[in-house]
Structure 1
Amino acid sequence: MTLTTLRLSSSTQTVGYCDHGQGEPLVLIHGVGMQSAAWGPQIAALEGAYRIIALDMPGHGASDPLPKGSELPEFVTWCHDVVQTLELGPVNIAGHSMGALIALGFSVGFPELTRRVALLNGVYRRDDVSARAVQARAVEIGAGKIDLETPLARWFGNTPEEITARAQVAAWLSEIDPSGYATAYSAFAHGDATYADQLPQITCPFLALTGDGDPNSTPAMSAAMAALAQQGQAITVKGHRHMVNLTAASEVNAHLLTWLKQQTSQEALL
């Protein structure tokens, strides 16, 4: 995949992104520690019918970091800046993990720019135990203590597909900028309820998808979010964990294609 860099019109920051295909725009935002290349299976499957714009999150890949201490709304503002600078107009937007939080924030903050929204392995209102654990990890990462093996063990099993995906993810994690990683992880750790109360405002087609083996982005979280959105649907991919877009790519791609074909309220008026 060819990576392009873009100077944003509002913040003047540089963003790295991949731009493939033609048609309705689909913006993809990866999770903490990843990069735009993590969407490779989705780009390959969907670029024949859609224009796919896969972004490097701030502080990841070729994208400049946001200032230290930036919270989830600053990442959402960054995403809006990208959409406006590229003059994409209303977009389909899908995010994974931290990217799902950004996609959710974008959809409630800029409904006029959102055709459809999909959250892959998204988090929603963690319980107290989970919240304390992820916030403690954020403090450790901020102090420079970065443990990459623990998340890899949590995200992957031992099937051939998972072993291959684990090697890819390990390579991306090894390339992270510690400061950008710390800022994004802190926003992720504290952002699970930032836009939770606004889910009922989402009127566009809404998909929440996760793996049944993901202990932190659980099927119950996906079901709760989908129940609140006006056109919400929750899907659980059986036998998979946190990196479903890589380990269950064909199944995920099929669900994304179905979501992309759902009629929007604007289309219903035509």
Structure 2
Amino acid sequence: MLIMDTNPADQRSKAHHRAFERLHTAGGTAYVSEGEGDPLVLIHGVGMRLEAWAPQIAYFSTTRRVIAVDMPGHGGSDKLPEGSRLEDFVAWFGRFLDDIEIDAATIAGHSMGAMISGGAAATMGNRIHGVGYLNGVYRRDPQAKAAVLARAASIKTDGVDKDGPLQRWFGDDADSVHARSLTKSWLEMVDPEGYAVAYTAFADGDETYAGRWPDVQCPALFLTGSGDPNSTPEMARQMAALAPKGSVAIVEGHRHMVNLTAPDTVNDLLAQWLGKKG
């Protein structure tokens, strides 16, 4: 297991506030593709957009082809129908790979994107060469499950909650200031209906593929922040113990949006993992 300590002086590359020119598939999915080489596909979490991967796109596109995709109902991608479950988001991802003619790839997801990545690794066999599971949940305890289901149920009446996520996802440290501002802007832009569909699938999906980690034969990295209250280090350790080729990385002093608040550290950890898996 890797445990990385970070401080503001170590973080040379802050979250990039960058505009991306999107491509679109015939199936209504928006994405960007930068660099050349082995494909690395990135899937963001609920309420976000592909810009949330800007530090990773900039770093990894120098050595491989990086594809960052807008999840359904987010950014420039069409939403899935109301009532869609996590399995439907995994099926969408498979169609996306087909549409952009990717036979096999390493994938990394954050939060709900991690859940989609895990589902893909569990169901798509040799098509997935490796899975990075960043700040992803695993078998929530009853209290956490009740809280996330209550948040999902409140969306229809209260709309997109912009304050709660910021309080859960960020501390008051210097590294979080810019990332918090960017995240708030993305939450303010998200389509409420697309958000509701995705968040409901996220809230109800933590058990969907939880029992499949022993079947995932590709290398799997479980990475989270030491202070993430919902996608906890213990969850990461439990999943890594189940996956035949699982490993753990904990970024000390950071919470949920660790790829933005500690971009250099996360990039280094992902690069080490990608190097080991070849």
When normalised by structure 1's length, the TM-score is: 0.94
Q: Post-superposition shift, 1:6?
A: 2.2
- The aligned amino acid for 2:253 is G
Match of 2:137 in 1: 123
- Please give the secondary structure, in 2, of the residue aligned with 1:125: coil
Match of 1:267 in 2: none
CA contact (8 A) 2:109 2:117 kept: yes
Match of 1:84 in 2: 98
- The aligned amino acid for 2:22 is T
- The aligned amino acid for 2:107 is I
What is the CA–CA distance in structure 2 between the aligned matches of 1:136 and 1:23, rounded to whole Å?
A: 43
Match of 1:259 in 2: 273
Pairing 1:193–2:211 present: no
Match of 1:226 in 2: 240
- The aligned amino acid for 2:117 is A
Q: Post-superposition shift, 1:259?
A: 1.6
CA contact (8 A) 1:5 1:14 kept: no
CA contact (8 A) 2:122 2:213 kept: yes
- Number of residue pairs aligned between Structure 1 and Structure 2: 260
Match of 1:4 in 2: 22
1:199-214 correspondence runs (5 A):
199-214=213-228
- The aligned amino acid for 1:147 is D
1:12-161 correspondence runs (5 A):
13-161=27-175
Q: Post-superposition shift, 1:139?
A: 0.3
What is the CA–CA distance in structure 2 between the aligned matches of 1:3 and 1:219, rounded to whole Å?
A: 35
- Please give the secondary structure, in 2, of the residue aligned with 1:92: strand
Q: Post-superposition shift, 1:2?
A: 3.0
What is the CA–CA distance in structure 1 between the aligned matches of 2:154 and 2:212, rounded to whole Å?
A: 31
What is the CA–CA distance in structure 2 between the aligned matches of 1:166 and 1:255, rounded to whole Å?
A: 22
Q: Post-superposition shift, 1:3?
A: 2.8
Find the partner of 2:190 among 159, 176, 198: 176
Structure 1 gaps, min length 5: 265-270
- Please give the secondary structure, in 1, of the residue aligned with 2:37: coil
What is the CA–CA distance in structure 1 between the aligned matches of 2:190 and 2:83, rounded to whole Å?
A: 18
RCO comparison, higher one (Cα < 8 Å, 6+): 2
Q: Post-superposition shift, 1:145?
A: 3.2
- Please give the secondary structure, in 2, of the residue aligned with 1:28: strand
- Please give the secondary structure, in 2, of the residue aligned with 1:235: strand
What is the CA–CA distance in structure 2 between the aligned matches of 1:116 and 1:142, rounded to whole Å?
A: 36
Find the partner of 1:216 among 213, 220, 230: 230
What is the CA–CA distance in structure 2 between the aligned matches of 1:2 and 1:219, rounded to whole Å?
A: 32
- Please give the secondary structure, in 2, of the residue aligned with 1:188: helix
- Please give the secondary structure, in 1, of the residue aligned with 2:113: helix
What is the CA–CA distance in structure 1 between the aligned matches of 2:117 and 2:21, rounded to whole Å?
A: 21
What is the CA–CA distance in structure 2 between the aligned matches of 1:59 and 1:121, rounded to whole Å?
A: 21
What is the CA–CA distance in structure 1 between the aligned matches of 2:40 and 2:219, rounded to whole Å?
A: 14
Q: Post-superposition shift, 1:36?
A: 0.2
Judge which range, 139-148 or 149-158, deviates more. Answer: 139-148
Q: Post-superposition shift, 1:5?
A: 3.1
What is the CA–CA distance in structure 1 between the aligned matches of 2:85 and 2:231, rounded to whole Å?
A: 20
Q: Post-superposition shift, 1:159?
A: 1.9
Identity %: 49
What is the CA–CA distance in structure 2 between the aligned matches of 1:18 and 1:253, rounded to whole Å?
A: 19
Q: Post-superposition shift, 1:142?
A: 3.1
CA contact (8 A) 1:3 1:16 kept: no
Judge which range, 149-158 or 20-29, deviates more. Answer: 149-158
- The aligned amino acid for 2:33 is D
